[in-house]
A and B are shown apart, each in its own frame.
Chain A
Amino acid sequence: MAVKKFVVGNFDDEAVLFPAVKKVRRAGYKIHDVFTPFPIHGLDHAMGLRDTSLHTAGFIYGITGTTTAVSFITWALTVDWQLNFGGKPFFSLPAWIPITFELTVLFAAVGMVLTFCYLCQLAPFVKKDHFNSRSTDDTFVMALECTEKTNEAEALSFLQSLGAKDVKVDYKETGWWLGRYDKDTKRFEKKAEAVH
């Protein structure tokens, strides 16, 4: 629940965006994020983002599913309610493999979707706000986070010199809260300051 201040620039060409990302990082600015209408290969690498841990989480969910299935079926069919299926032993592992597999997939899939939503701060009924709505259409929007040391005017002109358009200072909610970006009024307390 923290409204932060950002310097935002709009790029309309990948070929301009990549060198800009590199220079902004070298100049020491903190890139909050780059918003793009489609996934751009290599951008995460250029921004210096670490690899996602989503797959590790998926592995753990999968293992959890496997253990749940095997342990529950084992308990149910060998301890709690023994049934004779065609003379097979009570502990008939081959027959349980399909269910174990399904539960592994189910746990991994559902767990990963929920984790992904959490990481991206998405939830039903929460509407996301954009720095610039053209980032869902045809331009790439870069947001620099302002710290107490940041000189906004300098940052603005620096972004402009790198080829950014529609440069502005903006305030946004950065955290994860149960509200609606389009209904919440807090961010309108301070107006975005357009430069031109």
Chain B
Amino acid sequence: MSVLLFTIIVLIGAFLAGLLGSLTGLGGGVIIIPLLTLALNVDIHYAIGASIVSVIATSSGSAAAYVKEGITNIRIGMFLEIATTIGAICGAIVAVYLNANYIAILFGCILIFSAIMTLKKKVNHTTLDDTDKWARFFKLNGSYPDRGVDHPYAVKHIPGGFFMMLFAGTLSGLLGIGSGALKVIAMDNIMRLPFKVSTTTSNFMMGVTAAASAVVYLHRGQIDPGIAMPVCIGVLTGASLGSKVLLKTKTDKLKIVFAVVVVFLALQMIYKGISGL
């Protein structure tokens, strides 16, 4: 395939991945990797390197808007970034030594898990009980504005959340994805944060987490300009369009259709991984 044709195909694919990733909340990374490896036969190491770059671009771009609105809890974000960056670097280092087939299988499993998570009904776990001594020490309790009203919230189970973040960071570094699904579990279910705060804070953390593993990937030659260029431009433009559409349309039906497609892609990746062993 010529360089020009390859660039155009990846650009279109990445645009669609970014668009659908932002509409469903899965993120562009989890869609662009199967596309590159299954449809274009790109080695998964290159696909991961390109994907992590697009994760930095989209998360930084959307974090800019959320941070300005004052919803993001910067203290929680920074505190948990210790865990995610350590995890990300460990994951990125392990990825180098791991056979591409094992990565593909693991990727497929995480993909299925993320798809199920986007369909699950969210249960509100928020609490106002601000007696947790860790939360007090690290000043993690806060409030967020919604239609002019300030909603206070309290944070719980900090060590549990921290440990889960270590795991989320490792997967992010290992697979080149934002691992938003895991981050939201850690913050919603374990730490009891309100959805608005957990999704925006998770997004805020993604940039630094991805940067930590991107540095390792860059050194290992996994970030190839020929792939990373169309991927990050495509995913970023697709994701920005998606976030604009998201404000106007309901995405419940789309989520189901899309989850089915994602599960299909995931099974393909697992199959490819197993048959290559």
Q: Do A and B come together as binding partners?
A: no
